[in-house]
Amino acid sequence: MTKTPDSQYKRLLREILENGTITESQQGVDALTLMAPQSLRFRFSNGFPIITERKISKKIWGQAIGEIIGFINGARTQEELSSYGCRWWKYWVTEEKCKKRGLEPGDMGLGSYGVAFHDFPTSEGPAYNQFKNIIEQIIEQPYLRTHFITPWIPQYTIRGKRKQQKVVVCPCHGWIHIRIIDNKLTLHMFQRSSDTPIGLPANLAQYAALTMMIAHVTGYEAYEYIHSFSDAHMFVDQIEHVKTMLEREDKTLPTMKLNVGTGKKKKSLFDFRVDDFELQDYYPHPGIWDIPVAI
């Protein structure tokens, strides 16, 4: 099947530029914010959603996939995430930021992704592993509409008077709904807050990779990845870089291959690693290396 060029990312950036509202942010840099823009839909037959408007190196997409693998395995600290190939949380788990939340340096906290996904607190005994149980449910009852996962543990994300937030960064992404239709698997991820020039390209790569991993261990075709937003924004010091990307022509998306063929099939979702992924046919525009990151 011949791929067609994909312009969805540019459409989103343009939509924010044209319709967004200037808002204050806790990072100290104003943002141009658009609530609930149109979702992005990626059928794997037309490529894997690593953007082509600027080059995303393996150092970035590899860390993004390593991050989601670490989170589904329960990683909560920078040291644990590093063992899965993701090192960028060091900027958010500094001694200063962790102390503010009553945490040890390097600790993302009780309300972090790894805890929610792998060790969700319950009142009935042991912590609850969401992904383990969802994989079992998909295999046993694939037709259900309740294959749903949340990254949100509300008692640890709340803040205010006499309240102590117990997470360095409240989860921005990871509300996941999976559907099996005609033996094809679609994963729909809802994102609370998206830094579209910097964070979104990593999120697209990691959740599309997660779609492939779940399809592999449940025996279904990885059909489509859908990405929806609540707050989609770009910081004002990123706007000129965004305009550069909007001037570039549309290109086809690359292909992502899972190196787990005959004799290598993974039996468990938790066994995947970054080296299982191989990016092919990636011909992006040149990288833009100086886009500011709000921390």
Could you list the active site residues?
172
b/e map 4-19, b = 16+ CB within 10 Å: eebebbbebbeebeee
Residue 50: name the closest of 274, 251, 291, 288 by CA.
Answer: 251
**What's the one-letter identity of residue 54?**
R
**170 is written with which tokens?**
């409240």
- Report how far residue 129's alpha carbon sits from residue 117's, in angstroms, rounded to the nearest whole number: 6
**What's the one-letter identity of residue 51?**
I
User: What's phi and psi for 11, nearest 5 deg?
Assistant: -60, -40
* Cβ count near 79 (within 10 Å): 13
* Conformational region of residue 59, where left means phi above 0, alpha means psi within -120 to 50, and beta covers everything else: alpha
Coil vs helix vs strand at 56 = coil
**175 is written with which tokens?**
């509300």
Look up tokens 């020039």; give the residue: 197
Look up tokens 């949380």; give the residue: 89
* Count, residues in the chain: 295
Please report, to the nearest 10 degrees, the dihedral formed by the alpha carbons of residues 18, 228, 283, 221 taken in order.
Answer: -160
